[in-house]
Structure 1
Amino acid sequence: MNKKTNRVRKWIMTGLTLSLLVPTLAACNTSKNEEADSVRTLRIGTMYGSKQDESWFRQQFTDMFEFTHSNIEIEVVPAIDYSEMQFGDQSKEQEQPDPLEKVKAIMTGTNPVDVMIINDLSLLGTLVNENLLKQLDPMLKEDEIDVNEFVPTVIEGIKDQGNGFLYGLTPMFSPSALYYNKKLFTNKGVEFPTDGMSWDQVFNLAKRLKSGSGKDAVFGFSFNQWGAGDNYWDVQNFAAPLQLRMYDEKAETMTVNTPQWEAVWKKATDLYKDHVTPHQEDMQYDQPTDGKGFYNPYQGQLFMNGRVAMTIGDYGLITQIQQLNDNSEKMKMEKLDWDVVTMPFHVGKEGIGGNIYLNQLAGINAKAANSDDAWEFVKFMNGKEWAKLKARSTYEMSARKEYIKPRDGMAYNVEAFTKMKPAPQLNSSLKDQALLREKPNLNMVSELGTRAYSEVIQGKKSVKEALAEWETKGNDLLQKIKTNPKGPIEGIFDDVYGGDGVVRPLKEALMEASGEG
């Protein structure tokens, strides 16, 4: 009787369980069907790309979002499609596309993108001023997202382009700082550099650290971890926060023969002439001739070899230093005892440093058809979970303060990378870029500047004389470009441009001009 009763009870319980389970399964099926019916497309615009390299973009930006948002499908829409240019008619001269017009086309067309990924701060400012982006501040406030959790200078740099408001966010940024060799400072009895130093203060320190000659020479400073002190482009980056122009906004008149340009060039060339920065011959490294020596992977990097006291380096330089120190015994090299401080500033431009890039800005199209999912994506891309994963990067830093810390237990002044706002680069404004596309011969103006700077380095002209000559030749060139913006131009500098107007490699021409060729 008991067995029969138990059997009956089991049947009853099984029946009840099944009766409860059937509606649950039906509900699950209904939920799945509803989810399938509600799959939405989120269109994300990029400045450049193609179907062939779309997988990289998806891995970097969207795969994790799609994995956690199964009802949203991502469609990537490049403003400029590489394949269209690659497989175009090569027999005809192809017109270079205007990035701004291409971006505006995918943001304002019949099927506009919902999110725009922007890799240029100046582009962000232009899109804001043309009312093409949604302000994010109200959404941040509604979702109680505290922008104080982000690096202040990153937020301020973005706000500077948004008239005091946020129209984009970035999860990562690429900063630079001033690296220094502690041992070289200690050996000379010179105090270490500190955060918040001006360029003049750094240069004065550098002069005190210069010592020795030949293979034993130690240099006080280099503008980058690779090159010698005669690199004109380093000087351009050095001057970037000052926003010095080569010519006016219409490209009709030169603007280089000024006290501001003279001061910048004189500071850089004086360092070179006084051998405070290394010369090209100092970059050479004697390789062993007996075949028994060890290969030096840091050949030519004088800071890594303990011969430059201070250098400007990006965040990725830490990886190289770590590798050197971990393998110093194998390479028979001395470990580097180092630290970093903030990028130096120009007086009057305090808080602004060059070589800081915000490459992953995400903004919401003002005409987005799917603005809710667009905000969900921007929020996810800049959220804590994503930041925790991206913080493993060896070449970029998280924009969230919580995940900024010295790598692998190393001890260095990591906050030095977070204290300076980005400086606009030379000719980075969309107006200047449009002008260069309209008149590509304007690139010759920069080449004239390179030649003028080279003559100062070689001692052939003073800074003032070189700038005056650049202005004179530049004004002549601008007038010729006005009537001939793209074709060959004769008579500007025949040793760089042949008499037929055919451009020869600039490096080759400069070597010949200096007697090295």
Structure 2
Amino acid sequence: MCDDADQFYRRYGNIFTVTHPSIDLDVISIVERGRKPEYEEILTLIEKHQPDVLLLDEGLLASYAQEGKLSSLEEMIAEDKFDLAEYTPGVIESLRAKGNGTLYALAPHFTVPVLYYNRGLFEENQIKLPHNKMSWQEVFDLSKRFEGMGAGENRVFGLSLDVMDTTDILRHISRTFSLSLFDTKAEKLLIHSDGWKRAVELATDAVRSKIVPFSNYYTDFINGKAAMVVAQPWMISHCKTYGIKNLDWDMVTLPVDPKNPDESPHVQLEESCAIPAASPNKRAAWEFIKFINGPEMAKALSEYGLLPTRSPFLKEMDGKSMDPFYMLKPTSQTSYYGWYHRNVPREFSNSFTPLLEDALKAIVDNKKTVDEALAELEVKGQDALAIARTAKKKEKSSGTKATTGS
């Protein structure tokens, strides 16, 4: 069971069916028309279809493992002497943390953005080059060095992000800091905490300084009009295919939390392969998991443009070292990040987002201090959470489906 059957076959299924003709694959997609089902709906689908293998994101992996819904892989790994040594540092530790010390899943690939930079722009303007493991403050300070360069269509920005507004910038920063909007029970908002205050200060200062444009994301960079951009590995091929002539670029790790400079929540294991505890075909399921996490598949995934978790298989791309992609470990933290939590009604986000936008605008416009705006936002947000929970209870009592965050 996975999000997209077609993608599954392209990445894994076609190769597996050729190499393992004695094992039949029946793939169930759970995403329909771009909509991923809610947690309770996925449980219903699992109960209905009884799959032998699940491809899970990190949130679902942690939930299922801690609720006893998955089968441990430890014994089969030991029996088959399956080599875990070649995995990128931190991957196995992170997966074990999701299962409170037990390994319930293996992940064949991961995603993480990096900070690309235009070496030519930096050297022409005698600005020190970016380096690995910078903080957001350091990146924004570098970006400010390009302020005033060019005008109109020829203006040069210091930094380009995939953002449309201040809220989007805050999402980037708050994720780096592993911030959650809620306490562990999802009963209390934490937006007025020191961590959120710092993240909001960074985001609103960046907007007030006009150092991050809200348009032309990666195109500014490949056209030589942005000194830095945060993007996934696909940017490498874009620079080669669409970049201006003689675009001299390189890359370093994306910004990190100075308190935890060796890891990042942005390192995501999006397709962790696990076996349901109730599966009657655990050995066949393990053969599949073992194959798609093996060296042959790691090589195939690297050619497909993905980042295999087995680190020796992707040393460079287009002549550039891939070290920045492999330098940060995935965080072992298992809590929910940002705006969403499985136990929070999704309607809360619809109410909270405009409140947050208003608070951020008031800070950017210097109408309120960060402390004032967030103190007020926390009160309004707490009220919005209570209203959303009441509405959810009414929907349940009336038999109407209630949606929750995931």
TM-score, with length taken from structure 1 = 0.68
Question: Is it true that 1:58 corresponds to 2:9 in the alignment?
Answer: yes
Question: Is it true that 1:435 corresponds to 2:340 in the alignment?
Answer: no
Q: Distance in 1 between the 2:363 and 2:301 partners?
A: 45
Displacement of 1:425 after TM fit? Answer: 10
Structure 1 unmatched ranges of 5 or more? 1-44, 87-95, 284-297, 326-332, 488-517
**Which residue, 213, 238, 243 being the options, matches 1:320?**
238
Aligned to 1:260: 195
Q: Distance in 2 between the 1:271 and 1:248 partners?
A: 28
Judged with a 3 Å threshold, the aligned counterparts in structure 2 of structure 1 residues 264 and 468 are, in CA distance, closer, same or farther, namely same
Aligned to 1:143: 80
Question: Is it true that 1:368 corresponds to 2:279 in the alignment?
Answer: yes
Q: Distance in 1 between the 2:302 and 2:281 partners?
A: 29
Percent identity between the two aligned chains: 30
User: What is the total number of aligned residue pairs between the two structures?
Assistant: 393
Question: Larger relative contact order (C-alpha < 8 A, sep ≥ 6)?
Answer: 2
Deviation per CA, 1:138-185: give whole Å up to 9, x if none.
322332222121222333332331233422112222221111110121
Displacement of 1:483 after TM fit? Answer: 3.3
**Which residue, 383, 389, 393 being the options, matches 2:304?**
393
Judged with a 3 Å threshold, the aligned counterparts in structure 2 of structure 1 residues 418 and 272 are, in CA distance, closer, same or farther, namely same
The higher radius of gyration belongs to 1
Q: Which amino acid aligns with 1:436?
A: P
Alignment of 1:198-237 (within 5 A): 198-212=135-149, 214-215=151-152, 216-222=154-160, 224=161, 226-227=162-163, 230-237=165-172
Preserved CA contact (<8 Å) 2:184 2:335 = no
Could you say what secondary structure the match of 2:21 adopts?
coil
Question: Is it true that 1:191 corresponds to 2:128 in the alignment?
Answer: yes
**Which residue, 358, 371, 391 being the options, matches 1:464?**
371
Displacement of 1:124 after TM fit? Answer: 0.8
**Which residue, 78, 81, 95 being the options, matches 1:158?**
95
Judged with a 3 Å threshold, the aligned counterparts in structure 2 of structure 1 residues 313 and 473 are, in CA distance, closer, same or farther, namely same
Alignment of 1:43-442 (within 5 A): 45-46=1-2, 48=3, 54-78=5-29, 80=30, 82=32, 98-99=38-39, 101-105=40-44, 112-118=50-56, 120-212=57-149, 214-215=151-152, 216-222=154-160, 224=161, 226-227=162-163, 230-248=165-183, 253-278=188-213, 280=214, 283=215, 301-325=219-243, 333-394=244-305, 396-407=306-317, 410-422=318-330, 432-437=341-346, 440-442=347-349
Preserved CA contact (<8 Å) 1:238 1:354 = no
Structure 2 unmatched ranges of 5 or more? 395-406
Aligned to 2:391: 484
Q: Distance in 1 between the 2:41 and 2:158 partners?
A: 46
Could you say what secondary structure the match of 1:220 adopts?
strand
Preserved CA contact (<8 Å) 2:166 2:203 = no
Preserved CA contact (<8 Å) 2:180 2:338 = no
Q: Which amino acid aligns with 1:210?
A: E
Deviation per CA, 1:259-301: give whole Å up to 9, x if none.
32221111122222223333x4xx4xxxxxxxxxxxxxx7873
TM-score, with length taken from structure 2 = 0.84
Displacement of 1:308 after TM fit? Answer: 2.0
Judged with a 3 Å threshold, the aligned counterparts in structure 2 of structure 1 residues 413 and 370 are, in CA distance, closer, same or farther, namely same
Displacement of 1:108 after TM fit? Answer: 5.7
Q: Distance in 2 between the 1:165 and 1:252 partners?
A: 29
Preserved CA contact (<8 Å) 2:158 2:212 = yes
Q: Which amino acid aligns with 1:401?
A: S
Q: CA RMSD in A?
A: 3.2
Q: Which amino acid aligns with 1:344?
A: P
Aligned to 2:398: none
Judged with a 3 Å threshold, the aligned counterparts in structure 2 of structure 1 residues 193 and 482 are, in CA distance, closer, same or farther, namely same
Preserved CA contact (<8 Å) 2:50 2:279 = yes
Q: Which amino acid aligns with 1:197?
A: M
Preserved CA contact (<8 Å) 2:166 2:360 = no
Displacement of 1:252 after TM fit? Answer: 5.0
Judged with a 3 Å threshold, the aligned counterparts in structure 2 of structure 1 residues 251 and 112 are, in CA distance, closer, same or farther, namely closer
